Structure 1
Amino acid sequence: MKKVLPILLILVALVVTASIFVGIKHTKTVDWEESFNEKSSKPYGVSVLYKELPKLFSNHKIRTVYHQPASYLQAHSEDGFGDHVAVGSYIIIGNSNYLEDDSVDELLNFVDKGNALFISDYTFPQKLHDTLHIDVKYIANKTDSISTQKLEDFNINTIEIDRNEGDNYFSRFDSINYRVLGHSRIDYWHVNFLEIPFGGGKIYLHTEPKAFTNYNILKENRYQYVEGALSYLPENDVYFDSFTKIQTGYDGNVEKESNLGWFLEQLPFRWAWYTAIIFGILFMIFNAKRRQRIIKIIKPLPNTTVDFVKTVSNLYFETQDHKNLIDKKITYFLEKIRTDYHLDTSDLNDEFIEKLSSKSGRKKELVKKTIGYINWLRSKNEFFEDNLINLNRHIEAFYTA
């Protein structure tokens, strides 16, 4: 323990020094990954929108869906096992490429019953394109990194989305039945926001999800654009599609997620967490070693079988009781034959010799000599040491053949 203690102190000192050094020297860099994660406070997370949804849809329930729409909406249908029937608006911001055909079908069925679906993404699942007869194209930003966005039905000044390498827009759609709600411009104005009637409800497709991120909502008056875009949705409950997906079937719980991931994204919390784990492991290792009870050595029980055999054999050897030993060896040999080969040993005749040779696989001559010697011994009244030795040789020859 005394030798290990200096190593432990050095290790602890290194961990503390590393924590202080990283905390002081670490230059925070901005992560511009477009995650559209509702728990992320990074520029292109959507935590601000997520927190503002209860204000935008006041007096209505905001539910977060961590499951595939197919399993969740089926569970909350009229014939499902959920705690309510899903009615309202289903919102997806970015990451819609995970939607499989069965989820798209379930979302369309949800809209057909009089509900609304709002998706803001650069592209949409192919099944939506085929069902709604739409095409989306991309136009690169060749002059700068700014694209302009506007809504048709609101008296809102146009907003600019910077850090934008290009725009996606609807190159084909039903201009008679579909309603244009917004445009985007790089070199010219093009449609990027549609209202599509479907059954008893409506589908809203938007091609600039960065407008809903933290960076743009908190910059200047861009939040007004988001408020206007979401104002087309009916005043009803909202089902917000989470960035985190539980791929298994829905089991009755709406929200299933730990917030530990958010803490690990924060440098001070991350170092505190890892340091606590290291100290906890070290404490368990060294504390367990210090307090471990001495294990008592238990000697195994001696094997007295050999001693017993020696004692008994010496007894017979001293008394010269050859008849008793011969009788016992013959009895044990015949018992072995009865057990192994299931033969009747009451009559050791030629038929018995044939059966024993056949079942044991020994040569008939060997079996005949062994059984013959046993029959000869049974006919005698006086025995000598040579008789016992020869019997033992016959039996050993039978087993080793």
Structure 2
Amino acid sequence: MKKILPILLVLIALIITAAVVIGVKRTKTVDWEESFNEKSNKPYGVSVLYKELPNLFEGYKVRTVYHQPASYLKANSEDGYGEHVAEGNFIIIGNTDYLEDESIDELLHFVDSGNTLFISDYYFPQKIHDTLDVSVDYIENEKDSISYLSLKNKNVQEITLDKNKFDQYFSEYNSINHTVLGHSKIDYKHINFLQVPFGKGKVLLHLEPKAFTNYNLLMEERYKYVEGVLSYLPDANVYFDSYTKIQTGYDGDVEKESNLAWFLEQLSFRWAWYTAIVFGILFMIFNAKRRQRVIKIIKPLQNTTVAFVKTVSNLYFDTKDHKNLIDKKITYFLEKIRHDLHLNTDNLDEEFTEKLAAKTGKKKEDVKKLINYINLMKSKNEFFEENLIKLNRQIEAFYSK
């Protein structure tokens, strides 16, 4: 023991020294990737805008869309199986190249019904260019990488965007039907913000998505420009696109760091922490002697199945992990159907609904309502407590009748 102790102390000292040196030499790097992710606190994420949307559209619902617009808007149409009819403003910021033709058609149908589509990107899918009769070009900011943005009909002071190598602008548009709302490089009259009428609604096309990012919203008074841009949207519910951000790999933990990181940056706390670690290790070394362990009384195993189920379910409910509870309820329900009624549950379609109604003697309308809601739950990524309660009531009603 006496021979090992000096070696251990030297190793501890070396580890602490290395940790301090690494901490001092470590330099922070800033990630300037243009993610436009609503959960990212990086410079070019849009978490600040996302958190302010409920204030900008006070009194209206703000929903985040994690699906292709085609599937989401069809599900939430008048004849769909969604929980509401989608009406209001659909907002897409950056990364619009993911939009499929079917989604573009559904978005334009959404607008044609009297709603508003707002897109801010450097360019748009070709189908949007062709359908709305617009073309986009750009010029390079060779001298200072600074862009000047202004709005035409709003009392908003011209703002600057730094770190901007290019200015996009509409090189062609329908000057009779389209309304010019804003410019970049106003001296050269480069149009970067258009309002395009479509059916009963309108499409707002904007060519500078970086204006909506965290970096620019927190710089000077640039947020006033964003407020002015969004003021062209009517006061209505908001559907904020997030599908493309999931596809590019942002899973919501984009900014997660150690909770201890900030404290270790404070010199006094860092040395107190290392000192505590050293004394803790020394305490363990000097107390590592043979001692008679307390003989524990082993109690016979109890049947705690019910208590276990209650504990696990309460855990999921308290942590608001509604997805897990919904998945488990659906799995248990389908397993019981397979076991009791010997039905194949791979395809929950019309044929399965008819067989289930026939075997259980229940009304086909009630069975169809339950199966449609299960299919909806299996297709969703975002769940709320109301979804869990509604599913539970429908399953209980199925068993009770």
- TM-score, reference length from structure 2: 0.59
Measured against aligned partners, the alpha-carbon deviations of 1:240-261 in whole angstroms (never above 9, x if no partner) come to 01165567xxxxxxxxx96434
Query: Any idea what SS the aligned residue of 1:52 has?
Result: helix
What amino acid sits opposite 2:54 in the alignment?
Answer: P
Following superposition, the deviation at residue 189 of structure 1 comes to: 2.2
Tell me, yes or no, if the aligned pair for 2:149 and 2:186 is still in contact at 8 Å.
no
Tell me, yes or no, if the aligned pair for 1:141 and 1:186 is still in contact at 8 Å.
no
Counterpart mapping for 1:122-141 below 5 A: 122-141=122-141
Following superposition, the deviation at residue 143 of structure 1 comes to: 2.2
Matched, 1:263 2:234: no
**Structure 1 residues 12, 177: closer, same or farther in 2, change over 3 A?**
farther
Matched, 1:72 2:104: no
**Structure 1 residues 238, 168: closer, same or farther in 2, change over 3 A?**
same
Query: Any idea what SS the aligned residue of 1:149 has?
Result: strand
Following superposition, the deviation at residue 178 of structure 1 comes to: 0.5
Matched, 1:102 2:102: yes
Following superposition, the deviation at residue 81 of structure 1 comes to: 1.0
Tell me, yes or no, if the aligned pair for 1:68 and 1:246 is still in contact at 8 Å.
no
**Structure 1 residues 58, 222: closer, same or farther in 2, change over 3 A?**
same
Q: How many residues align?
A: 260
Measured against aligned partners, the alpha-carbon deviations of 1:34-63 in whole angstroms (never above 9, x if no partner) come to 111111111111111011101000011110
Measured against aligned partners, the alpha-carbon deviations of 1:123-179 in whole angstroms (never above 9, x if no partner) come to 001100010111000111122211110001111110011111111100111101110
Tell me, yes or no, if the aligned pair for 2:65 and 2:243 is still in contact at 8 Å.
no
Distance 2:16 2:74 in 1: 52
Matched, 1:203 2:196: no
Matched, 1:151 2:151: yes
Distance 1:38 1:14 in 2: 43
What amino acid sits opposite 2:261 in the alignment?
Answer: P
**Structure 1 residues 171, 79: closer, same or farther in 2, change over 3 A?**
same
Residue 362 of structure 1 is matched in structure 2 by none
Query: Any idea what SS the aligned residue of 1:127 has?
Result: helix
**Structure 1 residues 11, 132: closer, same or farther in 2, change over 3 A?**
farther
Give aligned-pair identity as a percent: 64
The range that moved more, 30-39 or 108-117, is 30-39
What amino acid sits opposite 1:103 in the alignment?
Answer: S
Distance 1:198 1:11 in 2: 72
Tell me, yes or no, if the aligned pair for 1:151 and 1:228 is still in contact at 8 Å.
yes
What amino acid sits opposite 1:119 in the alignment?
Answer: I
Distance 1:57 1:230 in 2: 10
Counterpart mapping for 1:287-366 below 5 A: none
Matched, 1:242 2:242: yes
**Structure 1 residues 262, 29: closer, same or farther in 2, change over 3 A?**
closer
**Structure 1 residues 20, 44: closer, same or farther in 2, change over 3 A?**
same
What amino acid sits opposite 1:65 in the alignment?
Answer: V
Measured against aligned partners, the alpha-carbon deviations of 1:217-271 in whole angstroms (never above 9, x if no partner) come to 1111110000000001110110001165567xxxxxxxxx9643431598939x9
The range that moved more, 258-267 or 62-71, is 258-267
Residue 217 of structure 1 is matched in structure 2 by 217
**Structure 1 residues 245, 158: closer, same or farther in 2, change over 3 A?**
closer
Residue 228 of structure 2 is matched in structure 1 by 228
**Structure 1 residues 244, 95: closer, same or farther in 2, change over 3 A?**
closer
Query: Any idea what SS the aligned residue of 1:204 has?
Result: strand
What amino acid sits opposite 1:121 in the alignment?
Answer: D
Tell me, yes or no, if the aligned pair for 2:181 and 2:193 is still in contact at 8 Å.
yes
RMSD of aligned Cα (Å): 3.2
- TM-score, reference length from structure 1: 0.59
Q: Which runs of 4+ in 1 moved over 6 A?
A: 9-19
Query: Any idea what SS the aligned residue of 2:256 has?
Result: helix
Distance 1:180 1:78 in 2: 33
**Structure 1 residues 83, 23: closer, same or farther in 2, change over 3 A?**
farther
Distance 2:240 2:11 in 1: 46
Tell me, yes or no, if the aligned pair for 2:115 and 2:201 is still in contact at 8 Å.
yes
**Structure 1 residues 50, 96: closer, same or farther in 2, change over 3 A?**
same
Q: Runs of 5+ in structure 1 lacking a partner?
A: 1-8, 248-256, 272-401
Distance 1:13 1:28 in 2: 26
Distance 1:259 1:67 in 2: 16
What amino acid sits opposite 1:262 in the alignment?
Answer: E
Tell me, yes or no, if the aligned pair for 1:23 and 1:268 is still in contact at 8 Å.
no
